Amino acid sequence: MIYDCYAMYLCEWCRTRDQKLRRATIFRNFLIENRLMVTHHAVILFVLVPVSQKLRGELGDFFVGCIFTAELSTPFVSLGRVLIQLKQQHTLLYKVNGILTLSTFLFCRILLFPFMYWSYGQHKGLSLLRVPFNIPLHCNVANAILISPQLYWFSLLCKKAARLFDTAKAKKDG
């Protein structure tokens, strides 16, 4: 979470360095422009992780580990941002990175949730469809809260990928 915020700030700093702004001004602008994302990372780091560690006690290590696998997509998302900063959207690296971003995001952030339910069902002898009715309500609520932004961000990534490949196809056909 700290790395994500720092990487986002570095992107902002690189983007604005030609403007001869003071670092304090760049930092303030970064916080204002990225308020939602910085808040998201701070809440996860300083609230969700400590609370989940304290409340769950010895339970749920598998599920906590699964949630952390969501971060496997982060290097690809970050590389995409760097390539945009460097105006390299036309390169093969950018397109390959886009495919890797979509793939890791799908598997590590979206399909992760059905996998966790399926794994729990296998452990307890339940079908996937019966799992939500056999776990505490707060687990379903927490998973719904966690997957909602993932679905939104994935839809944005898919729209961006569609534009990228539609543009490439249009150039090839035109």
* Per-residue model confidence (pLDDT) at position 174: 46
Percent of the chain with pLDDT over 90: 37
- Please calculate the CA angle 164-38-33 and round it to the nearest 5 degrees: 65
For 5-48, the three-class secondary structure string (H helix, E strand, C coil) is: HHHHHHHHHHHHHHHCCCHHHHHHHHHHHCHHHHHHHHHHHHHH
Check if the beta carbon of residue 1 is closer than 8 Å to that of residue 41: yes
* Per-residue model confidence (pLDDT) at position 152: 94
pTM of whole model > 0.85?
no
pLDDT digits (tens, 9 = 90+) for 41-86: 888 888 877 777 777 777 777 887 888 888 899 889 888 988 988 8
* Per-residue model confidence (pLDDT) at position 164: 78
Helices in the chain by DSSP H: which ranges? 2-16, 23-33, 35-43, 49-56, 61-69, 74-85, 92-105, 112-124, 137-173
* Per-residue model confidence (pLDDT) at position 35: 87
Residue 96 has pLDDT above 70, yes or no: yes
pLDDT digits (tens, 9 = 90+) for 13-42: 877 777 878 888 888 888 888 888 888 888
Nearest to 1, CA basis, from 53, 37, 51: 37
